[in-house]
Structure 1
Amino acid sequence: MIQVMLSIILFLMSYNRHKIRFSICCIIMLFTHFTSENTPLNVGCMSIECYIAVCLPLRHSRICTIKKTLILIGLIWVTSTSSVLPDLFVTLATQPLDFIHHSRVCHKTYIFPSPILTKKSTIIHSVFLVIVWFTIFYTYFRILFTARAASKDSKKARNTIILHGFQVLLCMTIYVRPQLVDVGHRWFLLSYFDSLFVNYIIMHVLPRSLSPIIYGVRDETFRKYLKKYMLCKCSFTKNKR
């Protein structure tokens, strides 16, 4: 939710070419990138949890404790923070003081203009996604082999891994963003800003919207109470009328 909220703010400001102070933009930008970097790492860890629940059910309660989960969340944040903070330090060390004090469009290319940082981000993102993809494929095939025992929970976990793979695939589209913007502009006759909006929904909003579907609507208990309260609300509305 933090990522979605901050990315919407950044998108609206960049869409309108609104200029703000470097310090304010930098804070918003850094927190947005922190949470963006977390997404594929979270998905990989969730896939491992599904693998442990299905393939190592007797050890699940011992491995996946609350304490270990909190430690894992902390490690994810440390990893994402350490991959983004160097951008700020390099910018402060290489840019003149006028660059920091002037207002500018709150976009990464204007805040962190060094081409070295772009290459660094590409390498780090590629390493993260390779590790996450390897984790997802490994856990998927192990769960697939376990699912041959016709266990309902195994099939559900297998479907969850497939959705995680689709979620990571959507996250990867950010690396072909210029090409997708050009496709929307040429093939679908969208204006440049409309193409930016469509790509923003696909790259940033949709991947984060999958988690409530994967762990919310697909859950039988949650779905039962959701239908119950929705039906009660509908009947209440009809009686009131």
Structure 2
Amino acid sequence: MKNSCLHSLEHVILSFLKNFITFAIAIIIIFINGTFVYTYFKSHVFQRDPRYVLYIHLVINDMIMLTIAVALQIMAYTLPLKLAPCCILLSSKTFFFINSAPLNLAGMALERYIAVCKPLHHVQICTVQRTYGFITLIWAISLMPSVTDVIFLVATQPLSIFSRNVICYESNISTHLPLCRPQGLLLCFVFLTVLITYLNVLWAARAASGLNQASARNARNTILLHGVQLLICMSSFVFPFIDIMLVTTWPEKRSTILFTTYLISGILPRLLSPLIYGVRDKTGKILFVSLL
């Protein structure tokens, strides 16, 4: 009996520590991103630049997705949810993931490609109005999986199933309901887009000279960093297999392994966007200085 109580107490302490660590990291990331968002809306210079319109859209989506992800983690440890609100939260997380990582990164890479490879047409093609139109298209595409989920579930499942209590995390829900998850296909498409734009900018950088070469080199490095972002996002599909291998090897450390890989693949990448544009980008350094 005593050993059972000690084991329960240890489980509660570990659960609290995991939630506290995740919550603390999320608050720091949201604070940094929120400062960038605040500075953006205070400056008309950034609002008139299409690349920063896309950038701030990416940051806002990351903030919302991070908030939902942390809320889902805390609820998974503390209280069960009805299946209906759980599906809504998971679909929302998927929506903001597609909204930010794959499609927004593709738009940002294409903008850099046009700026370097078609500089005479950049002002005409990459306008703020067209950028908002592209963002609207991103939202429409991102909504499709969620709308498909709702139509499919209502058509195939009895309504009574949505009143069940469940521990709300995706691998658990997939045993109850099959949901539409096209992230893998989108990520592959965007990866090809980023790769093609990077190669074109690389060739342009080699052919350019003087200031044009420096501009092309900066654009090439920016696209390369977007590729790194994308690879980290794609790693979320690899980590489940890594989890299986690690848990099989060290089954007694299952909880620690799953928590660590979750932090690496799900939480920390949300900090990359402000670092890429806030630290290395010359104009973005104004945003970074605002943190100091």
**Structure 1 pair 171–50 and aligned structure 2 pair: CA distance change class (3 A):** same
TM-score (norm 2): 0.69
String of CA shifts for 1:36-58, please: whole Å, max 9, x gaps.
Answer: 11211111111001101111111
1:125 corresponds to: 183
1:36 corresponds to: 97
String of CA shifts for 1:175-224, please: whole Å, max 9, x gaps.
Answer: 22321213443567872222222222222223322111111111224436
Deviates more, 1:76-85 or 1:212-221: 212-221
1:83 corresponds to: 145
Structure 2 counterpart of 1:220, from 258, 270, 282: 282
Instruction: Return the offset for 1:17.
Output: 6.0
1:143 corresponds to: 201
1:4 corresponds to: 66
2:125 corresponds to: 63
Equivalences for residues 1-241 of structure 1 within 5 A: 1-14=63-76, 16=77, 18-38=79-99, 39-113=101-175, 117=179, 120-121=180-181, 124-148=182-206, 149-150=208-209, 151-185=213-247, 191-223=253-285, 226=288, 230=292
1:235 corresponds to: none
Instruction: Return the offset for 1:81.
Output: 0.8
* Matched-pair contact (CA < 8 Å) for 2:278–2:284: yes
* Matched-pair contact (CA < 8 Å) for 2:277–2:284: no
What percent identity do the matched residue pairs reach?
A: 36
**Structure 1 pair 180–190 and aligned structure 2 pair: CA distance change class (3 A):** farther
The letter for the 1-side match of 2:236 is I
Task: Give the total of aligned pairs.
Answer: 225
Please tell me the root mean square deviation across aligned C-alpha atoms, in Å.
2.4
The letter for the 1-side match of 2:203 is F
Deviates more, 1:156-165 or 1:98-107: 98-107
Cα separation, 1, equivalents of 2:85 and 2:291:
42
String of CA shifts for 1:50-97, please: whole Å, max 9, x gaps.
Answer: 101111111111111111111100111110110232123222322223
5+ residue gaps, structure 2: 1-62
1:236 corresponds to: none
* Matched-pair contact (CA < 8 Å) for 2:86–2:168: yes
**Structure 1 pair 110–97 and aligned structure 2 pair: CA distance change class (3 A):** farther
* Matched-pair contact (CA < 8 Å) for 2:83–2:162: yes
* Matched-pair contact (CA < 8 Å) for 1:21–1:101: yes
5+ residue gaps, structure 1: 231-241
2:43 corresponds to: none
* Matched-pair contact (CA < 8 Å) for 1:6–1:32: yes
The letter for the 2-side match of 1:171 is C
Cα separation, 1, equivalents of 2:79 and 2:148:
26
1:234 corresponds to: none
